[in-house]
Amino acid sequence: MPVSYTHLDVYKRQALIRSHARLTYTEVAAILANTRGPEAQRRADLVPHLLHLHEVYRALLKQRARRGAVDFESTETQIVCDDNGRIEKIVPRTRNEAHRLIEETMLAANVCAAEFIATAEHPSLYRVHEGPTPEKRLALQNQLKALGLGMHLSDEPKPAEIQAIAQAVHGRPDALQILSLIHICKGSSDALARGGRYDEVGAIFGRNRPAVGFSLDLKSLAEVAGHAPVPAAIRAPWGEDPGLRDAVRRLREAGEIVLSVLPGQPPPQAAFDCDREMICVEGRWVLRSLNT
Please report, for the chain, the start and end positions of each structural domain, with discontinuous segments joined by +: 25-120, 134-225, 232-289
Least trusted range by pLDDT, from 65-69, 88-92, 117-121: 65-69
Q: How far is CA 37 from CA 20, 43, 61, 262, in A?
A: 21, 10, 25, 23
pTM: 0.48
State the sign of the Cα–Cα–Cα–Cα dihedral 99, 164, 63, 183. Answer: positive
Give the pLDDT score at 275. Answer: 87
Task: Place 2 in a pLDDT band, splitting at 50, 70 and 90.
Answer: very low
105 pLDDT exceeds 80? Answer: yes
Q: Give the pLDDT mean for 101-110.
A: 87
Q: Give the pLDDT mean for 166-174.
A: 73
Calpha distance 160→154 (Å, rounded): 11
Calpha distance 277→235 (Å, rounded): 4
Check: CB of residue 129 under 8 Å from CB of residue 191: no
Q: What is the pLDDT of residues 197-242, one digit of tens each?
A: 555 555 555 556 666 666 666 666 566 555 667 788 888 988 889 9
Closest CA to 208 of 76, 132, 142, 114: 114
Q: Which residue type sits at 216? A: L
Closest CA to 288 of 275, 270, 272, 271: 275
Least trusted range by pLDDT, from 20-24, 68-72, 258-262: 68-72
Calpha distance 50→39 (Å, rounded): 12
Q: How high is the mean pLDDT of the chain?
A: 76
Q: How far is CA 102 from CA 48, 57, 113, 198, 199, in A?
A: 17, 8, 16, 21, 22
Q: DSSP state, 200?
A: S
Q: Give the pLDDT mean for 126-151.
A: 72
Q: Which range scores top for mean pLDDT: 4-8, 93-97, 176-180? A: 93-97
For 137, phi then psi, to 5°, come to -65, -40
Helices (H) and strands (E) in the chain, counts: 9, 8
